Amino acid sequence: MIEAKLIWTPYPYLAGFCISDDADCATLEQVKSVYDFLMEYNFPTTKSVWPFIPTYKCGSPPTPESTLRGITLENKSYLRYCEKLSSKGYEICLHGASAGNNQRDSIREALDYCRHHFGSTNTYICHSKNADNIYWEHKVTARFPFHLALKMYSKHSCSGEIPDSQFFWGDLCSSSVKQIRLFKTRHIDTLSRNPSMPYHDPKKPLVNSWFSATKRKLADCASPHAIYRLKQNNGLTILYQYLHRYADPSTHEVQDSFRTSIIRLRNDPGMYIDTVSNILNRLRQLQDIFIFYRNYQFYVINIGTQWIKNLQILLSSQKTILDPKENTHAKQIKNRLFIQEILPESMTYFQLMQPITFRRNRRCFPFRKRRLALKQPFGRLYINLTKSRCSLDDRILPPFSFQVAETKKTLSGMPIRSVLSSKEEYRLLIDQFWLILREILLLKRHINIDKYLDISKPIALEDHENW
Q: Render pLDDT for 167-182 as a digit per residue (tens, 0 to 9).
A: 999 999 999 999 999 9
pLDDT band at 464 (very low <50, low <70, confident <90, very high): confident
Mean pLDDT for 99-128 is 97
Phi-psi region of 402 (alpha: psi -120 to 50; beta: other; left: phi over 0): beta
Q: In Å, what is the CA distance from 224 to each residue of 41, 227, 262, 366, 391?
A: 18, 5, 12, 37, 54
pLDDT at residue 453, rounded to an integer: 53
> What pTM value is reported for the model?
0.95
pLDDT at residue 448, rounded to an integer: 56
Residue 442 per-residue DSSP state: H
Q: In Å, what is the CA distance from 173 to each residue of 24, 169, 372, 461?
A: 22, 6, 37, 29
- The type of residue at 412 is S
Give CA–CA dist 335/314, Å, rounded. 6
pLDDT at residue 449, rounded to an integer: 55
- Give all domains of the chain, ordered by start, each with its CATH number: 17-281 (3.20.20), 289-368 (no CATH)
- CA 213 to chain centroid, in Å, comes to 8
Phi-psi region of 345 (alpha: psi -120 to 50; beta: other; left: phi over 0): left
pLDDT per residue over 400-451, tens digit each? 999 998 778 999 999 999 999 999 999 999 999 999 888 888 766 665 555 5
